[in-house]
Structure 1
Amino acid sequence: MFMKLTRASAFATVALLAGVGTASAEFKAESPQCIAPSNPGGGWDFICRTTAKYLFDLGVIEDSMQVTNMSGGGGGVAFAHVTKERNEDNNLIVAASMSTSARIAQGIYEGAVQDDVHFLATFGAEYGAIAVRADSPFQDLSDMMDAILEDPRSVGIAGGSSVGSFDHIKPMLVAQEAGMEDVTQLKYVSFDGGGEAMTGLLSGATEALSGDFSEMLGFLESGDIRIIGIMAPERLANYPDIPTAKELGYDVVGANWRGLYMPAGASDEAKEFWSNAIQTMVADPGFQETLEAAAIAPFNNFGDDMHNFVAGSIADVTKLSKEIGIID
């Protein structure tokens, strides 16, 4: 679901949600926990830590929320932990994104289907970007693609998720636009989370980084990296100096949704509580300011809309993955 997420209608301003309470009368969260399926520093970590802060600050939960980083398998370790060991845990939520639905679509989470977990919500989406070190010889995305076309293995591209993930797919789509016949030749180096992927870039282990714009902001502002292309339909208003892949001749626009899931076997009361809790958080102006500061646009799905959205995302990723040769 790469193009659909970028339609203007998808990023409508969040309206205050009438009738959304902070708790279900039948359920009260106790010792709540959010699992970030990666090491600290990446997008999943951001989801959990931001959610934990606002749910507590808003009084939606009385106990502070524990954030647990559980990396491995591109989120597969956390997914298996939830489905096999904590399927009925009412107090557990887990960070999710485009990569979660992509891994289900591609069979990376072995045997997994959408209904193995209960998808709660999306509350934002952000554009993908490709970055290089500040001293990189690549001045723009075209320079890098020219080098890749000449020798696909000469440019290692770090990503904070597994082979076949959204971080991997983004540069593959650009390479496809550049005329690369077999995009599976692209040298993608998988790390457990955006923080580790950035370390890989800065240490010289790779020549470039594919990730989400918000994960790169701090390093961009410190001058450690340059972003040579962002996969947005037009330049971002707050960062007008960053060129889009599209204007450089690569017609690729892609956004990564941000959200949460919880155990499928949790009680209906708990599912209602957490759905209401997230909607209350999303309606808060301070939360929206935090998303805006991280260059994350509002993108909201709850309840049946969320279920249908994830189903559509899985179908789209399955189709795209077949087209570019990731799956048969």
Structure 2
Amino acid sequence: MNKEETVTFSRLKTAFCAGLAAVGLLVQPALAADYPHKTVKLVTHSSPGGGTDVFLRELIKHLSPIMDVTFVVENVRGGAGAKAIAYLAGSPADGSVFYGTTPSYINTSLLSKPEKTFEDLDPVVNLFQDPQIVFVRADSPYKTLKDVVEDAKKRPNQVRVGVSTPGSLDRQVMEQFKAETGTEVTIITHDGGGDVMLSVLNGTSNVGIGEIAELRGQIDAKKIRLITTYTEQRLPQFPDVPTAKEQGINLVVRKFRGIAGPKGLPREIVAAWEDATQKVLQDPKFKAWYEKDALIPAYMDQATYKKFTADFAEGQKAFFTKYGITTE
């Protein structure tokens, strides 16, 4: 090929590539090219500002470019999560709609026995364990969890504790708290963690149970104060906050955060989520967010997450029996 032919070929190659790019035919990453939907809905039972709502809205910022998908978060509230479960169960199993999972969707299924339950959904992936913390308003007289216990013993049913939905893990753990401490407190349920925070700030609840992500703004503004964590060890982000176990109260709570979808999701859809989830957990910007808010990476693929969910449900049944929590 002479010099003139080489120049002509180069120009033709450039023009051909430019043409492909103009019509979007240049090769894209396999995951983006293969995913069948450009818009995907993520449903949560949580109210705006609640833990799952905050988690999903942050997740999609980093997941969207990885999957080349536009995500939309929708709050389907009511029935302590039952409406959201029913919504998912009735949605097409084509990868266009998913649900942000927490223990609430299992507890609601077991306790209220709705028409559709967690067994009507397919676990897809798990991302995190989310430490549970106990907090009060900044001007509260309670400095520790022991202070709450002592006051509750002096004034039965006068200490008001804010939790999220009736089916939430934090609500159920309050039964264990009462049994462990020999106290009676008034438990106030809400639509989500954001509402619990407001309840504490306005004085409706004396104490709240929640997660760091939903409280971060008020923590930084010094409007609320953390008094304990329901973890095995102190959180590195809050080294001055003692665990419940350090205060003589044997409470450790393991809350998970993941994704589920309608029953019967195609394997290729699940594989796309498994791949993307592992990538997003390594994303530096997402990692900076979840480490700051004390989320603990706990990736599970679908097979592992299915077994975990089934085992967790059995464990919750035993928990309800032990603490006399009705399943009617």
Which of 33, 38, 51 in structure 2 is aligned with 1:43? 51
**Structure with greater helix share of residues:** 2
Q: Match of 1:28?
A: 36
Residues 34-56 of structure 1 show CA distances to partners (whole Å, capped at 9, x for unaligned) of 11221111111123212211121
Cα distance in 1, alignment partners of residues 214 and 304 from structure 2: 27
Cα distance in 2, alignment partners of residues 144 and 294 from structure 1: 25
Cα distance in 1, alignment partners of residues 64 and 33 from structure 2: 18
Question: Is 1:121 aligned to residue 129 of structure 2?
Answer: no
Q: Which has the higher contact order (CA 8 A, sep 6+)?
A: 1
Q: Match of 2:81?
A: 75
Cα distance in 2, alignment partners of residues 97 and 286 from structure 1: 23
Amino acid at match of 2:44: A
The 3-state SS of whatever aligns with 1:252 is: coil
Runs (5+) with no aligned partner, structure 1: 1-20
Q: Match of 1:165?
A: 168
Amino acid at match of 1:287: F
Amino acid at match of 1:269: E
RMSD between aligned residues: 2.1
Judge conservation of contact 1:170–1:210 (CA < 8 Å) in 2. Answer: no
Q: Bigger CA drift: 212-221 or 297-306? A: 212-221
Amino acid at match of 2:181: A
Q: Match of 1:142?
A: 146
Cα distance in 2, alignment partners of residues 266 and 233 from structure 1: 36
Runs (5+) with no aligned partner, structure 2: 1-28
Cα distance in 2, alignment partners of residues 24 and 316 from structure 1: 38
Judge conservation of contact 1:155–1:207 (CA < 8 Å) in 2. Answer: yes
CA deviation after TM superposition for structure 1 residue 244, in Å: 1.2
Amino acid at match of 2:75: N
Q: Match of 2:19?
A: none
Normalising by structure 2, we get a TM-score of 0.84
The 3-state SS of whatever aligns with 1:118 is: strand
Amino acid at match of 1:68: E
CA deviation after TM superposition for structure 1 residue 210, in Å: 1.2
Judge conservation of contact 2:158–2:185 (CA < 8 Å) in 1. Answer: no
Q: Percent identity?
A: 26
Cα distance in 2, alignment partners of residues 270 and 285 from structure 1: 25
Residues 248-290 of structure 1 show CA distances to partners (whole Å, capped at 9, x for unaligned) of 1101111211111111144333333333332332243333222
Structure number with greater Rg is: 2
Amino acid at match of 1:81: Y
Normalising by structure 1, we get a TM-score of 0.84
CA deviation after TM superposition for structure 1 residue 165, in Å: 2.2
The 3-state SS of whatever aligns with 1:23 is: helix
The 3-state SS of whatever aligns with 2:70 is: coil
